[in-house]
Structure 1
Amino acid sequence: MPVPDDFPLRPLDLKRHLFVRVSLFALAVLFVGTVVALVETRYRVRGEIQRTGQTIRQLLTDEIHQTSNNYNRSLEEIHLDLNTLQPIGALIHFCIQLTDLYSHPAGDRCFDRPIALPAPLEAAMRQVIGADAMYQGNIGQYPGITVGQITVTPNFGTELITLCWNLINLLAVSLTILLMSFVIYRPVRNALAPSEAMLKTLKLMENGNLQARMPTFALIELDRIGQGFNHLAERLQQTIGTQQRLARHLLTAREEERQYLSRELHDEFGQYLTSLNAEASFAMELADEGVPALRPCAESISRTASHMMEVLQQILYRLRPVGLDEFGLTASLQQLIDQWNHRCRSTRFQLIVDDGLDCLPDNIAVTIYRIVQESLTNTVRHGQADSVRIRLEAEGDNLRLQVQDDGRGGAQPEVRSESRKSGGFGLLGMEERVLALGGTLRINALQPCGTLIDVCLPAHEPAEESA
């Protein structure tokens, strides 16, 4: 039956589960066997006492007929030889008590290893067998002539020994089952030992190491699983590599197009707007000299040209970070931080950058700048932070960028949804750029408040593989 998606699956340790199951089975065998042994002992002894009592009564009656005359009326005058009951006592454990007509004891003997039990043990055996487990009958010479009474009871000591041996056998069976569980546990443990290597490989894959592969296993089934996993991992690595190369090409083409548009807009429209503003200034001078009616039109043209220049500067800023090519990444980030410190009086921004990070590839530099730019915008707009710290450092062949604030945490879903609705750069654009460069992006809520944006990027763009 298929398991529903919302059905919670409990973690299962197969080795521990197997050992617990076998141990519970051994305990169940011991418990059920003990109950069965006690019930069997009770009904067996009670039945044997009744049957044995009748047989003994008949044997003693026959012996009285053979060894006494008609004038003997007391068991003291009739010397009964109880040793004749020894063969029966070797098979069935019982005790016999003889009393005369006046209820005086005339004989008392237990057959087959008579044992004196401590009072608690004898009381326990009486509870198991039953205090009413006995046989009583009259013995005499002829029908109607009674010379005494016989009472047959179980030999509780011998029955206890028999019961103990049965329980010991049950305990031995249970211990044998447990021993078998240990014998089974060892090959199962050896067979499942490669699971640690499998989990380690999966953990490496989870952390982004696409080159992790399963080792060769001795167990055929696990080795087939490992080979299938390695094949899928290779296909995944090839697919992700192809996607990353395509995404890098798209990023490069987009940045080149933006750079081209920025240069064209700056060179063409900037010159035309500057020329138009100069013409408007000349027209205002002519209006002041002799054509006053021309001045309002010249001022309107000048204001329009100035406004268009401001709009053009904003478009150029969105297309390409100002000064990134001329001054480098560190200076551009510092300029961005200074602008936010000047614009937001209630929030202080701090930038920490390691030395030697101005010679990064263009895609990596632009990505870092855009991530910092978008992170600061989201922090000011949604975080309500008092302080924001931006740290960029080198870690071997990777770059670590962290943007940490002390504002209201847990706003990531709102920012994400808003970014997608607006179609802006947003978190979706940040993820696309980071994944295209083979990096990782994590957004964590801090306690008690705040948000940490943690980005790890390679310091160099991966080399393009030949087709």
Structure 2
Amino acid sequence: MRLVLQLVARLLLIVALCLTAATVWATFDAYRSVDRATAASAQRVAHALEALYWRELLLRSSRMREHLVPVPDWRTLETMKLIAPGVCVQFQPAAAFEKPLCGQSQGIGQTPPRWFASLVPTFLGSHAEVVRPVSPRAAAAGTVVATPDQAAAISLAWEYILNVIDVALLMSAAIALLASLAIAHALAPARSIVTALQRMARGQYRTPLPRFRSMELAMIGNAVGELGERLEEATEQRTALTRRLLEIRDDERRALARELHDEFGQNLSAILAFSSTIETASTKEANAGGIAQDARMISQATHRIMASLRDTLKRLRNPLPDELGLEASLVNLVDSWRSQSATQPTIQLDLKGNLADIGGTAATTAYRVAQECLTNALRHSAARKINLRIERRAGEDDALLIRVEDDGGGDADRVAQSAGFGLTGIRERVAAAGGSLSIARANRGLSVAATIPLAA
């Protein structure tokens, strides 16, 4: 899961928790606001009746004090305005058949669901009535009793909660959207870092990164840049070392070829001459048959050793591209394999592009790759047809493509993972030349392809 989505999901979880907490707080506050409205209504009505009580006491002193309040005009519209919706007020002691004076309760709030109407009183309890004296200095003036309407209180609380939730949802959506944009903007430089790492994996080690404002991302960018520089230096050192090792190996090949030619070749020639002399001299003696047979066996063994030595010398001596050029050396290589036996598979050579000016390391590497791939296809597979294709791709990507395909079957994955000296050697040569090597499955066999950049 992407990091941006993870952070947004966590943010939404936090917003949901905050929204739940806000809903619980809104429920408690709305439900208890009815108690505050009840107390305020009782206080306002008591204050109004106190003024009425003292006015009647001063203007009608002849009346009994217990008959001063309530007077006929206390249940007026002005008194109704002092009572909050959903609250009923009654004067004590009340007159006979006197009903409480209630505020407007019809159409207050929204009808709550049953679960809310039963759940809220269970956890928050019921509303208590509020008693206020008409006059603290005159106990005989009576008291005001305010009682909230339970159904109206729950309806008001439900409406308040809905309003709060609507606002909270809008704020949560806005916060989530803006925070998501901010997180995506803050993490956008991570794509540049990932792209740089992917380029480094493909061999482009020096990949410049933009300057990041965030200190953490700037540190990561600097670390990636330093890593790329060190990888490039290590690659250059490894390439130089590989080239040097190949040069040393070629020098050893040439030295070994000279030793084999000078020592083994001369000694074998001498053995062959001695065997011929023995065979010629034995024809004049009595036991000529046995001696002649031994001499012929020595001669045959010597011829076989000399043929093997010639093949070894061909592989060890200076590469033919240095002497004949790449195109002629490849033709000579294919002709030498064709001439060894009539039972050899068909070898098709396909040359494309201008190969005349290709020399040096590129030509030597191409020749060695073709030589090793042909050797493996001829000796380690039951191929009937082998196709050797050499193509020069001109233009901006000036490179040489060597592809060897056969129809002898084989497991491409197993061959690619092989640690044989021949395959390891061509890998080293291609890498030293700055190229790439791939092994894949062909139509009915294997395909080995090497790309050597000529610009390098």
TM-score of the superposed pair, with normalisation by structure 1: 0.67
The aligned residue for residue 250 of structure 1 is 245
**Distance between the aligned counterparts of 1:322 and 1:343, measured in 2?**
27
8 Å Cα contact 2:388/2:405 also seen in 1 = yes
The aligned residue for residue 335 of structure 2 is 335
In structure 1, the gaps of 5 or more residues are 1-9, 138-148, 420-424, 463-467
8 Å Cα contact 1:415/1:426 also seen in 2 = no
The aligned residue for residue 86 of structure 2 is 94
**Distance between the aligned counterparts of 1:78 and 1:286, measured in 2?**
167
In structure 2, the gaps of 5 or more residues are 58-62, 131-144
**Distance between the aligned counterparts of 2:235 and 2:110, measured in 1?**
82
2:313 to 289, 313, 316: 316
Offset of 1:263 from its aligned partner? 4.6
Matched, 1:441 2:442: no
2:413 to 401, 404, 410: 410
Change (3 A) 1:390 1:296: closer
RMSD (Å) for aligned C-alpha atoms = 5.2
Paired residue type of 1:458 = P
Paired residue type of 1:116 = G
Change (3 A) 1:133 1:228: closer
**Distance between the aligned counterparts of 1:50 and 1:331, measured in 2?**
110
**Distance between the aligned counterparts of 1:200 and 1:387, measured in 2?**
43
Offset of 1:272 from its aligned partner? 4.7
Offset of 1:383 from its aligned partner? 6.7
**Distance between the aligned counterparts of 1:59 and 1:298, measured in 2?**
147
**Which residues in structure 2 correspond to 1:43-192 (within 5 Å)?**
45=34, 81=75, 83=77, 86=80, 89=83, 93-96=85-88, 106=99, 109-111=102-104, 114=105, 116=107, 120-121=111-112, 126-127=117-118, 129-130=120-121, 133=126, 152-154=148-150, 155-156=152-153, 158-171=156-169, 173-174=171-172, 177-178=175-176, 181=179, 184-185=182-183, 188=186, 192=188
8 Å Cα contact 1:53/1:136 also seen in 2 = no
1:192-228 per-position Cα deviation (integer Å, ceiling 9, x unaligned): 43x4444444333322234x33145153745565455
The aligned residue for residue 208 of structure 2 is 214
Paired residue type of 1:273 = L
Offset of 1:61 from its aligned partner? 12
Change (3 A) 1:234 1:12: same
Matched, 1:273 2:273: no
Q: What is the aligned residue count?
A: 422
8 Å Cα contact 1:390/1:401 also seen in 2 = yes
SS at match of 1:410: helix
Paired residue type of 1:38 = T
1:394 to 392, 405, 413: 392
Change (3 A) 1:448 1:163: farther
Change (3 A) 1:412 1:380: same
Change (3 A) 1:238 1:173: closer
My pick for the range that moved more, 51-60 or 221-230, is: 51-60
Change (3 A) 1:201 1:170: closer
Change (3 A) 1:250 1:187: closer
Offset of 1:153 from its aligned partner? 0.6
Change (3 A) 1:238 1:402: same
Change (3 A) 1:29 1:134: closer
**Distance between the aligned counterparts of 1:452 and 1:36, measured in 2?**
73
SS at match of 2:428: helix
**Distance between the aligned counterparts of 1:179 and 1:415, measured in 2?**
54
**Distance between the aligned counterparts of 1:365 and 1:291, measured in 2?**
60
SS at match of 2:207: coil
Taking every aligned residue pair, what percent have the same amino acid on both sides?
A: 22
8 Å Cα contact 1:244/1:436 also seen in 2 = yes
Offset of 1:264 from its aligned partner? 5.0
The aligned residue for residue 203 of structure 1 is 198
The aligned residue for residue 136 of structure 2 is none
8 Å Cα contact 1:93/1:158 also seen in 2 = no
Offset of 1:338 from its aligned partner? 3.7
1:27 to 8, 11, 16: 16
